[in-house]
Structure 1
């Protein structure tokens, strides 16, 4: 990875590009890109390919990227015991997230729960040596968090909340503050989704008042706080919180940021701004935000989960604004995505939006036909 980072730095210097400008062009978080270039994190295939194309490296960066960790061949030497279990958990997390980014959590949630529960049973039996207990707890906490996220995307709200709560408890037992913060953020996200605005506000306030919380964690807390305020009708303060989160997006980059926070980027903030505006009844103002969030989210995975999520969000904004021509074009693209993306959360929102649209006046007949087709097919 050192060769990869050195080569990227040299190419950036040759072309007069900064890390921030490069991250913006590829829709990646600058902090994540910085960690990769400085050898602190493995570049994904998508990032290596994106950098290769942007910097016109003709395949050099793709070839320099370290190969992914794959299961060893039968008979090959592999970690055993607790070390092997932890290695298996880390590899499982990477595999589950890669699949989720492309196809959504519907199919992978049961597999994530199975891996999480199997490893947690070893903890419950006391089968983990004390010397390895903290590392094992941390790895299981991450698995529980990933399982919670996939269950969340599958629309299994109660099971998802249970997994996030378990992740928080395990992280505290492990003394893993970064994973504890992650679990709290996921719980606040869950509360916003399920209408527990008061609970989301309490979690956000807890994170914002804790000492030594990294800037990016504070930024996320402001996002959750903004969405919760929008839910309770305090739209002015909601938008102020989200504006503050946006202002702090680049300033929040810090060596103390946890590795998992790389996904907090312009697309994420823009999408939340759009949602808050939509909740405030400002659909026309929300539309450009939703369009931009979709544009940014679709750059790395044009047919992925994020593209479906923001396409449905954009359709909701068009429906609220009675923008039927634009809504019809968006629904056509959504139908293509539904063939591969299994995100139940996005599909449920799509069905809700279609029901709302069906009761709007002056919906064109061609759009009504497409809506009926989509409802049956999904």
Structure 2
């Protein structure tokens, strides 16, 4: 049993709450919660934060969840050791990215992926280990693609994610195939290819027996792509359908990687879509909610920074200059913690929106120029 699971079970006992009632309150599948509270599965940051709030643990469960569950031990020799190292890489780099962004660790992830890829290309992996090796290299390639995306290296992130998709297909790992496709849809959207993003989302939704959380994410991607194409009616319909599905708990059919498809994610995408559609007034409460939920997990993390930048854009659009000033002033210290090329690019766009706005006060334009220099 992990430190997190022991503390969470003790807190449940103190409050006289059963695991099943906790799962019902949190809208999580009881089987997933059981695996987590018995130390068989690492809790997601969102689950840790939700349990911490439900059980009034004052941050104790969040802190316990962030502790490594094991100390890295000596790896087994040969191919098994390589697989173990790659899996450790994925686990620790995912945690690092949430805290500090992808800029510094993207090259390291690429190196691990490329090394594994060379081993596959050279045909030196024993037959009994080939599928595990393929699956693991596909996961590292997917992670490298995401980190490159956060580092704002669009061509490289697309190449890595396409490779992850191909490797997962060769391995017969349908879950990782779908993960790669959802990431490709997001990358195409930011690269200005909403048509391609829409095609991928439809491809996912047309698959039989697609897990509920994967379908939900595909609808989010579709809604964002339609907003980019200025199709307000269909965009909001897809996002409404996603919100309706969010009310259901995480199911046992959902892949483990879908833990982050949650209220924060959906609210943020709803806000971004409304902002893109020119309805900043409706976007603001959605983005404020996403920023609040992201900060509850990690106040100075990459996710919290992302939504703060989004709020600067929304406040500029509605000409709420004092709110914009307060949000903007909070951002530079976050770049002392987070190194994310994607967020720097988005911030530069937000700052340009201020300095080129005909009604922006001079004092706010001056602040925007100062922040540009710092960030």
Q: How many residues align?
A: 371
Counterpart contact for 1:48–1:65, Cα < 8 Å? no
Deviation of 1:171 (Å): 0.3
Counterpart contact for 1:188–1:199, Cα < 8 Å? yes
Q: After superposition, where does 1:100-179 map in structure 2 within 5 Å?
A: 100-179=97-176
What per-residue deviation string (whole Å, max 9, x for no partner) do you get for residues 117-152 of structure 1? 111111111111111111100000000000000000
Q: Which residue of 1 aligns with 2:240?
A: 243
TM-score (norm 2): 0.90
Q: Does 1:69 align with 2:70?
A: yes
What per-residue deviation string (whole Å, max 9, x for no partner) do you get for residues 348-372 of structure 1? 0110111121111232232122111
Cα distance between partner residues in 1 of 2:59 and 2:266: 32
What per-residue deviation string (whole Å, max 9, x for no partner) do you get for residues 173-228 of structure 1? 11111111101111111111112111111111111111121111110110000001
Q: Does 1:19 align with 2:16?
A: no
Q: Which residue of 2 aligns with 1:277?
A: 274
Q: Which residue of 2 aligns with 1:367?
A: 364
Q: Which residue of 1 aligns with 2:41?
A: 41
Deviation of 1:115 (Å): 0.9
Give secondary structure in 2 for the equivalent of 1:248: helix
Cα distance between partner residues in 1 of 2:283 and 2:56: 36
Relative to 1, partners in 2 of residues 1:243 and 1:38: Cα closer, same or farther, differing over 3 Å? farther
Which deviates further from its counterpart, 43-52 or 203-212? 43-52
Which deviates further from its counterpart, 215-224 or 247-256? 247-256
Deviation of 1:236 (Å): 1.2
Counterpart contact for 2:138–2:168, Cα < 8 Å? yes
Cα distance between partner residues in 1 of 2:2 and 2:167: 34
Cα distance between partner residues in 1 of 2:11 and 2:350: 46
What per-residue deviation string (whole Å, max 9, x for no partner) do you get for residues 332-357 of structure 1? 11112122211111110110111121
Counterpart contact for 1:32–1:262, Cα < 8 Å? no
Deviation of 1:60 (Å): 9.0
Counterpart contact for 1:208–1:221, Cα < 8 Å? yes
Cα distance between partner residues in 1 of 2:31 and 2:180: 21
Cα distance between partner residues in 2 of 1:153 and 1:194: 13
Relative to 1, partners in 2 of residues 1:48 and 1:357: Cα closer, same or farther, differing over 3 Å? closer
Which deviates further from its counterpart, 354-363 or 253-262? 354-363
5+ residue gaps, structure 2, are: none
Cα distance between partner residues in 2 of 1:352 and 1:57: 39
Relative to 1, partners in 2 of residues 1:207 and 1:329: Cα closer, same or farther, differing over 3 Å? same
Deviation of 1:232 (Å): 0.7
Identify which of 305, 308, 317 aligns with 2:305.
308
TM-score (norm 1): 0.90
Give secondary structure in 2 for the equivalent of 1:366: helix
Q: Which residue of 2 aligns with 1:341?
A: 338
Counterpart contact for 2:204–2:210, Cα < 8 Å? yes
5+ residue gaps, structure 1, are: none
Cα distance between partner residues in 2 of 1:20 and 1:174: 34
Relative to 1, partners in 2 of residues 1:8 and 1:90: Cα closer, same or farther, differing over 3 Å? same
Relative to 1, partners in 2 of residues 1:173 and 1:366: Cα closer, same or farther, differing over 3 Å? same
Q: Which residue of 2 aligns with 1:354?
A: 351
Deviation of 1:47 (Å): 6.4
